């Protein structure tokens, strides 16, 4: 209750709540743009999509999300440096090697290299 006695606290909290609302709206619009650029992002929730975008350079860390976006795909096969996608694997252990591996270095945007996969 001592907080209520601080001068201007209500106004400051209202301003912060308004700013938070604007930030949440902007984040929602950004995530929608990302989903529009790669429609399979619609298969993952907002928190997962933020993790995917935030870790787009660390493909190995994103493994758990591929099965949500691609039916029948349990994992992405990577080279030793984890920067070239060499194929895909099913839950049953079947592997499909790509004729043209996809470099996540050459195609730095996640929606670019995911489209190529």
> Considering only the top CATH level, what class is 2-116?
alpha beta
Confidence class of residue 1 from pLDDT cuts 50, 70 and 90? low
| Count of beta carbons in the 10 Å neighbourhood of residue 32 | 12
| Count of beta carbons in the 10 Å neighbourhood of residue 82 | 14
- pTM here is 0.79
What are the CA-CA distances from residue 91 to residues 35, 60, 67, 72, 116 (Å)?
A: 26, 17, 9, 7, 21
What's the pLDDT at 107?
Answer: 84
60-72: average pLDDT? 91
55-77: average pLDDT? 90
Structure tokens at 90: 């099913």
Domain coordinates in residue numbering, the chain: 2-116
């Amino acid at each position: 209750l001592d907080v209520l006695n601080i001068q201007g606290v209500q106004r400051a909290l209202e301003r912060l709540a308004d700013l938070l609302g604007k930030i949440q709206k902007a984040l929602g619009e950004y995530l929608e743009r990302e989903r529009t650029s790669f429609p399979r992002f619609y298969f993952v929730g907002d928190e997962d999509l933020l993790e995917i975008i935030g870790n787009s350079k660390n493909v190995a860390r994103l493994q758990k999300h591929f099965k949500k976006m691609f039916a029948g795909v349990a994992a992405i096969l990577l080279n030793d440096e984890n920067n070239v996608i060499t194929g895909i694997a099913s839950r049953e252990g079947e592997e499909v090697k790509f004729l043209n591996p996809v470099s996540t270095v050459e195609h730095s945007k996640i929606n670019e290299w995911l489209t190529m996969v």
